[in-house]
């Protein structure tokens, strides 16, 4: 009311002096890039005057410079399990500038005086970042020759903001249903206030079903997003491995653990991936050659990093890259020359064995001392079969206690030697191979990347439902989980420009400095929740011998295949699957 009074006085004075009383907005309040594709004012000619607010779809990225035209509603109805996070999307737009917008999601009132309190609710204005197109996928890119766009992706912390004329602003909302919530319907509202206008109130109704998800640490889904601590040190301009660096890293690790992350990414030698990222991976282990084939290894940084990640909740697996690095180069400090030396050692060669045998023996002993031997894997990324065979032969002979991981091509010759195998989703790995590995207690996951096919993927221009689809596809094929090579390998200016020199925009990271989550990351997490829900529902149906319902579930999952997921139809597939899952839960609860 006070803001309305002030605006009335301002407008009255403006009229007296012959000026317009339209609110003037110079900035949105967010530090965002300019729109590389401005839209002509005529595009808004048919938009009704005034400020608009409605619920949109979480499956849509709303264009900054166009008004939304479909999938809009003035109320939100949804369902959730206990322990589940629910995503909603609010959309605000106006042909005229609007100032001092505030969005609030009220606490939700449920049965018998129960509430879902404000601490379980999230309000995140969505920021825009520059993106591009898939084109041919992998390969060098010249920003000046590729069309650029704004993509809605960054989930900002809640704050007062403005709308410039003829613009749209999505707001991402989350509801974390407490595991202790009582089943029933919870109601509340989204309240939107602004300078000089009446508040807008949109009702929210959430049905909490009498089903419970375990905590993320207990999810069975094997999530492996590779962390890059070197990017964090560079971005914040702090000394690598300093107390400040570790302090900055912890919330990124905690955010990842809250999505069910299972693996800690470590680099055991200098630049295991060559120079592919903006911030290069350095060795977390200091190699020193002291002459006469005597080696010394300093694990202090490695230990510090692993302990930090474990404290954040990532505890299942330590993946160590790599005994077959890109270029097969090993860098160490040579005591005789008092300088660093880089040598190229090919797997299977005498030089390779001379370097890696002493490392493996000492590394095994150190891991055993720390109590980490049973969860540590030597990991490789897209290496040739012959190189893998030579590496495996050496590892099994010297330190058979250490397990092996590979993200790459399935080879029958080495599958039994790989505790953790991750394959590209195309061509599709036959279910019989996945099942055979599962029976041996081995992990099998899949990954996406910049290669064709374009869909499904994790770029800033990818349809949001493709992230949720990943959990459904994993369940359908029998995979244990999903791998993505880059959690936070940021480019030079990640909060403004998600493009990179060699891959489609957004390929190198899923979350932003802050840490700030993203539409992509939240939808990925949603798909993982669905994976867990499918697992639990299947177990209950099998225990009750509900064969018809099991067939219904299998039929729904059968729609997720290599043929279907590689087409731009993730929204249709995922929403159809969710509907079937909801119906099956209703059947279970009515028994």
If asked whether residues 348 and 276 sit together in one domain, one would say yes
Largest CA distance in the chain: 92
Domain containing residue 166: CATH number = 2.60.40.10
* Domain final residue, candidates 367, 387, 418: 418
Residue with tokens 């064969």: 547
Q: Answer with the one of 418, 439, 469 that is the final residue of a domain.
A: 418
pLDDT tens-digit series, residues 349-396: 999 999 999 999 999 999 999 999 999 999 999 999 999 999 999 999
Judgement on whether residues 269 and 202 belong to the same structural domain of the protein? no
Residues 261 and 174 in one domain: no
Question: Does the structure show a pLDDT above 70 at 2?
Answer: no
Tell me the β-bridge partners of 52: 93
Buried b (16+ CB within 10 A) or exposed e, 81-104: bbbbbbbbbbbbbbbbbbbbbebb
Does 19 score more than 50 pLDDT?
no
Asked if 271 and 355 sit in the same domain, the reply is: yes
| Total domains in the fold of the chain | 2
| Domain identity same for 278 and 174 | no
Q: Give the pTM.
A: 0.95
* Residue 487 placed within a domain: no
Q: Could you report the per-residue pLDDT of 411-462, keeping only the tens digit for each? A: 999 999 999 999 999 999 999 999 999 999 999 999 999 999 999 999 999 9
Range of the structural domain that residue 369 is part of: 224-230+237-418
**591 falls in which pLDDT band (50, 70, 90)?**
confident
Same domain, 185 and 243: no
Residue 247, in any domain of the structure: yes
Q: What are phi and psi of 492, to 5 degrees?
A: -65, -40
Q: Are residues 270 and 358 in the same domain?
A: yes
| Whether 240 contacts 230, CB under 8 Å | yes
Domain boundary pick from 418, 449, 470:
418
Locus of tokens 């300078």: 195
Mean pLDDT of 219-231: 98
> Residues 54-72: pLDDT tens digits?
999 999 999 999 999 888 9
Encode pLDDT of 267-304 as tens digits. Answer: 999 999 998 999 999 999 999 999 888 999 999 999 99
Residue 104 lies in a domain: yes
Cα 92 to Cα 37: distance, rounded to the nearest angstrom: 20
For 101-150, write each residue's pLDDT tens digit: 999 999 999 999 999 999 999 999 999 999 999 999 999 998 888 999 99
CB atoms within 10 A of CB 336: 10
């Amino acid at each position: 009311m006070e803001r309305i009074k002030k605006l009335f006085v301002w407008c009255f004075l403006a009229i007296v002096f012959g000026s317009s009383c339209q609110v003037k907005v110079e900035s949105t309040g967010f530090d965002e890039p300019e729109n590389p594709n401005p839209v002509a004012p005529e595009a808004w000619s048919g938009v009704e005057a005034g400020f608009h607010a409605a619920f949109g779809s979480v499956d849509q990225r709303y264009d900054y410079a166009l008004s939304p035209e479909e999938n809009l509603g003035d109320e939100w109805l949804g369902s959730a399990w206990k322990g589940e996070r629910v995503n909603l999307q609010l959309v605000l737009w106006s042909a005229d500038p609007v100032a001092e917008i505030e969005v609030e999601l009220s606490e939700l009132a449920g049965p018998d005086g129960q509430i879902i309190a404000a601490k379980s609710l999230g309000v995140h204005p969505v920021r825009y970042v520059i993106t591009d197109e898939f084109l041919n996928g992998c390969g060098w890119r010249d920003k000046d020759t590729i069309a650029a766009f704004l993509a809605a992706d960054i989930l900002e912390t809640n704050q007062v903001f403005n709308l410039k004329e003829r613009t749209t602003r999505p707001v991402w909302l989350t509801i974390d249903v407490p595991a202790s919530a009582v089943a029933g319907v919870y109601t509340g509202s989204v309240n939107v206030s602004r300078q000089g206008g009446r508040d807008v109130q949109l009702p929210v109704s959430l049905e909490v079903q009498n089903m419970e998800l375990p905590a993320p640490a207990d999810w069975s889904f094997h999530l492996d997003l590779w962390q890059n601590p070197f990017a964090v040190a560079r971005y914040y301009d702090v000394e690598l491995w300093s107390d400040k660096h570790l302090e900055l890293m912890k919330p990124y690790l905690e955010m990842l653990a809250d999505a069910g992350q299972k693996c800690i990414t470590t680099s055991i030698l200098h630049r295991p991936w060559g120079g592919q990222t903006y911030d290069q991976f350095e060795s977390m282990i200091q190699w020193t050659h002291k002459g006469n084939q005597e080696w010394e290894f300093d694990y202090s940084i490695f230990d510090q990093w692993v302990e930090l990640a474990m404290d954040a909740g990532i505890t299942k697996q330590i993946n160590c890259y790599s005994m077959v690095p890109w270029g097969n180069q090993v860098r160490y400090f040579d005591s005789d020359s008092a300088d660093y030396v880089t040598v190229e050692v090919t797997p299977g060669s005498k030089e390779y064995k001379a370097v890696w045998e002493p490392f493996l023996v000492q590394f095994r002993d150190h891991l055993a001392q720390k109590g980490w031997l049973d969860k540590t894997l030597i990991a490789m990324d897209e290496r040739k079969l012959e190189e893998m065979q030579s590496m495996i032969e050496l590892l099994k002979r010297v330190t058979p206690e250490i397990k092996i991981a590979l993200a790459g091509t399935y080879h029958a010759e080495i599958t039994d030697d790989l505790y953790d195998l991750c394959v590209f989703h195309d061509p599709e790995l036959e279910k019989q191979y996945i099942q055979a590995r599962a029976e041996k207690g081995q992990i099998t996951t899949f990954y996406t990347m910049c290669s064709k096919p374009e869909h499904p993927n994790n770029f800033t221009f990818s349809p949001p439902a493709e992230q949720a689809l990943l959990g459904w596809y994993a369940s359908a094929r029998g995979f244990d989980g999903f791998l993505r090579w880059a959690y936070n390998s940021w480019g030079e200016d990640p909060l403004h420009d998600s493009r990179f020199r060699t891959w489609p925009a957004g390929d190198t990271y899923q979350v932003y400095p802050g840490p700030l989550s993203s539409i992509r990351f939240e939808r990925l997490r949603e798909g993982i929740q669905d994976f867990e829900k499918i697992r639990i529902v299947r177990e209950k149906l099998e225990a009750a011998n509900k064969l018809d319902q099991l067939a219904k579930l299998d039929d729904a999952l059968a729609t997720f295949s290599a043929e279907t997921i590689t087409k731009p139809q993730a929204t249709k597939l995922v929403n159809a699957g969710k509907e079937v899952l909801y119906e099956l839960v209703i059947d279970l609860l009515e028994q």
